[in-house]
Structure 1
Amino acid sequence: MRDHAARVRTGLVSSNSTRSNQADLRIHVTLDHLKSMEGHVRSLRLLPSKQPSSSVLNGRHASRLRGRGLNFEELRGYLPGDDPRTIDWKVTARTGEPHVRVYSEERDRPTLVVVDQRMSMFFGTRHAMKSVTAAEAAALIVFRVLDQGDRIGGIVFGDELLSEVRPRNSRNACHRLLCALERANRMLKADALIGHEPMGLNQPLSMVARIAKRDHLVVILSDFDGIDDRTETLVAGIARRNDVILCPITDPISQEIPNDLKIVVSDGELQVELDTTHGDVRKRLETFSKGRLADLLNWQKRFGLIVLPLSAGEETLSQLRLLTGGAPQKRRPDL
C-alpha cells in the first residue's frame, strides 16, 4: 500500500517510526538519533592518560583529572626496572630485602552525566537548539564511557521532570538514560505551560552530591541558567571528591548580539519582548551572558574543575573532537 497512514494503521509501519522520520533533529532528538552517536565515539577520549597536546583535558588544563584509581594486588621482591617509588620501606627494613607494592588499575570508574532540558535550553538561532546540543553531547559521552568499560549513569532534568539512572556497566543503563533524555527533550515546546516554578540547577546537583560520594567523573551539560551561591557551594563540594567537567551550552547570539534584534522570549507562562535597537538592552544582555561564563571560569580556577564550552551554532561531534584533541570529522560528499 502506498498510503503511509494506511500502512501505519495496518501495522506495516509503526507510528513511532512515522514521528521519527518527520522529526526535525535540530529542534527535537529521537532515540534512534541518539543511538546513532555510538558509531562516532572512538575518536573521543575522556581518560586523562595520553591526551593529545591540543586537548583541554591535557596537562595544566586538566587541573587534577584523576582517572581510574588503583587497587593493591601484591607485595613482592624488588626486580630490576621496578619504580623505586613503589618500594615498601617498612617491609624492606623488616626483611632486609627490598620489596615493592604492586598495584593494578581499577577496572572501571563511575561516570555521571547531568543533562539540562529546561525551557531555557529550548532556544537556538543558527544550527540547533541548545537542548539538542546538550542531548547529543550526552549521548556521545555515554557511549564513550561505556566503550571504555566504565560505569555510566546520569540525571536528566527539565522544568517538570527529574530522572535518575544509577551508574552501571551495562547497555541497559545506557538505554534507560537515553530514553529519559528523549522523553525530556520531547516535552520542550514553544507553547508549553509550566504549572509551577521552573526547576533550578540546585536540585539535580543535590542528587549528584548524594550519588557521587567520591572518585566519580561528573559531566554537567547546561546553560547554567539561575545559578546562585548555593550552586557554587554544591559544585565546590562535588569537585572536592570527584572530577567535574562543566559544559556550558551557549547560542552564538549570546556572543554576537545584533543591533537590530527584536525577539519575544517566554518561560511558558510569561513573555517579554527584547529590542536590541536600544543600546541599554543590548548592553545588559551582553553583560549577563559574559558574567555567567566568568562565574564558571572562576570555579575552574578555584575548584580545579574543567570547563568545556559547546555552542549550539555548530555540529556537536566536531566540537567535542576538537576539544579533546581529535581531528574534525570529514564530511562525505553526499552529505
Structure 2
Amino acid sequence: MAGGCGWSQTARIGGGHPENGRTVVTEALSHAGVSLSSEALIGLRRVALSAYAKPPVAALPGGFLTRKRGQGVEVADVREYVAGDDIRHLDRGTTARTGRLHIRQFQEERDRVSLLVADFRAPMFWGMQRAFLSVAAAEALVLIGWHLIESGGRVGLLAITADTPVIIPPRGRTRGMLDVIGGLVQAHASSLTAIQAGQDEGRTLAQALTSAERLTPPGSEIIIASGFDQPGDALADRLDQLAHRRSPRLVLITERKTREMPRGWYSIRFSDGQQKRVYLDGTESEGSDIYQKIDAHPALVLNASDAIDTTGRRISAAFSERYAA
C-alpha cells in the first residue's frame, strides 16, 4: 500500500501496553512468517529445484548464459575419442581401464552474476495471513537464488534495512547461497530491532539503490524484491540508470488478502504517524496479472499470503519464460 502504511487489523511492529507490550511483541516476532530463520531458507532449495524441474540449459536473453559444455577447468563429461578431438584432453584413467581412447569435456566458464536486493524497510513489516511482506520478499529471493546457483551463476546480496544495509559480495556454489541466506537473516533481524527502537532512517527505495550499481559488474542482473512503497521521486531514473549496463528484474510483493476483507471503513497508519480512514468495497483492482508495470519496468507480482509452493511455481513460470532460449 502506498505510503508505507499498515492496516490496523493486520500483524505489524510496535504497540502494546507499556507494562506487558514488550513481552507480547517479543514473542510475536519469533513466529514463522514474522522472523527469518536460516533453516527455513535453506530448506527452500527443495522447493526451488522441484519448481525448476526442467531448468533451461541454453543461452539466456540479455547476455546471461547458463552452463554449457566447452573449454574450462571443470569436467562435464568423459566420452570416447573421435577423429578431430584434441588429444591434450585425453583422460588417462578411463583410457587405461577400457583400453580405448577417451577424452574429457569441460564445463565452459560463463560468468553470470546476480545481485539479490531485499527491501527490509519499515513498509515491508506487515502482513495479514501467512507472512510479513519482508519475509515473503526474502523467500522469493532465496527461491530465485537457489535456481541461479544450480545454473552455475554467482549471487550476492544487498539487504536494505531501517538502519545499515547488509552487503554480501557475489559468490558461486552452495557456499555463496549460504552466505546470502545468512545476510538475509541478519539484515531482517537488524531492521526489526531498529524499527522497534524508533531508529528508522526513512530512506526511499531510490536512495537505497544508489549502491547497487557499484556492487555488480556491467552485464549482471539486479533482482529487486519490494512492495515499492515510499519509492522516492528518483526511482524511475534509478531503474533506467541500472538498465543502461545491467538488467534490473523487479519482484512486487503484495498482500491480496486485503481484497477479501469485509466492506467497510478501515483505519490505516502511515510511517510518519499520520492516520487515515479508507473504504474497502471488496472488489479486485486491476493488476491481478502475473506482471505489473513499475515506472515502465515489468514486475513479477507475488502474494505474501500464498503458500510457498505456489510462490515457487509462479517464480518458475515467470523466470523460465524470460530465460527460455
Q: Same fold (TM over 0.5)?
A: yes
Question: Is structure 2 residue 317 aligned with structure 1 residue 313?
Answer: no
Once the two structures are aligned, what percentage of the paired residues are identical?
A: 22
- Give the count of matched residue pairs: 251
Aligned counterparts of 1:46 and 1:137: Cα–Cα separation in 2? 17
Aligned counterparts of 2:133 and 2:200: Cα–Cα separation in 1? 23
The residue aligned with 1:197 is: 201
Equivalent of residue 40 in structure 1, options 44, 47, 66: 47
CA contact (8 A) 1:260 1:275 kept: no
Aligned partner of residue 311 in structure 2, secondary structure: helix
The residue aligned with 2:64 is: 67
Residue identity in the other structure for 1:28: S
- Cα distance, 1:150–1:323 mapped onto 2, change above 3 Å: closer
Please state which structure has a larger fraction of its residues in strand.
2
- Cα distance, 1:71–1:278 mapped onto 2, change above 3 Å: closer
After superposing the two structures, state which structure 1 stretch, 209-218 or 315-324, moved more. Answer: 315-324
Q: Mapping of 1:238-249 within 5 angstroms?
A: 238-249=242-253
The residue aligned with 2:156 is: 153
Residue identity in the other structure for 2:128: T
The residue aligned with 1:166 is: 169
The residue aligned with 1:273 is: 275
Equivalent of residue 130 in structure 2, options 127, 131, 135: 127
- Normalising by structure 1, what TM-score? 0.63
The residue aligned with 1:218 is: 222
Task: Tell me how large the CA RMSD over aligned residues is.
Answer: 3.8
Aligned counterparts of 1:43 and 1:162: Cα–Cα separation in 2? 32
Tell me the CA shift for residue 154 of structure 1: 1.2
Aligned counterparts of 1:208 and 1:320: Cα–Cα separation in 2? 25
Structure 1 unaligned blocks of 5 or more: 1-18, 52-61, 74-103, 301-305, 327-335
CA contact (8 A) 1:110 1:152 kept: yes
Tell me the CA shift for residue 111 of structure 1: 0.9
CA contact (8 A) 1:48 1:65 kept: no
Structure 2 unaligned blocks of 5 or more: 1-25, 72-106, 319-325
Aligned counterparts of 1:138 and 1:313: Cα–Cα separation in 2? 16
CA contact (8 A) 1:215 1:242 kept: yes
Tell me the CA shift for residue 194 of structure 1: 3.0
- Normalising by structure 2, what TM-score? 0.65
Question: Is structure 2 residue 35 aligned with structure 1 residue 28?
Answer: yes
The residue aligned with 1:206 is: 210
Tell me the CA shift for residue 161 of structure 1: 2.6
Deviations 1:89-108 (CA, angstroms, capped at 9, x unpaired): xxxxxxxxxxxxxxx96433
Aligned partner of residue 309 in structure 1, secondary structure: strand
- Cα distance, 1:263–1:137 mapped onto 2, change above 3 Å: same
Aligned partner of residue 126 in structure 2, secondary structure: coil
Residue identity in the other structure for 1:36: G
- Cα distance, 1:48–1:148 mapped onto 2, change above 3 Å: closer
Aligned counterparts of 1:240 and 1:46: Cα–Cα separation in 2? 33
- Cα distance, 1:310–1:49 mapped onto 2, change above 3 Å: same
Aligned counterparts of 2:317 and 2:179: Cα–Cα separation in 1? 30
After superposing the two structures, state which structure 1 stretch, 131-140 or 252-261, moved more. Answer: 252-261
Runs of 4+ with >4 A deviation = 44-51, 69-73, 253-258
Aligned counterparts of 2:254 and 2:206: Cα–Cα separation in 1? 20
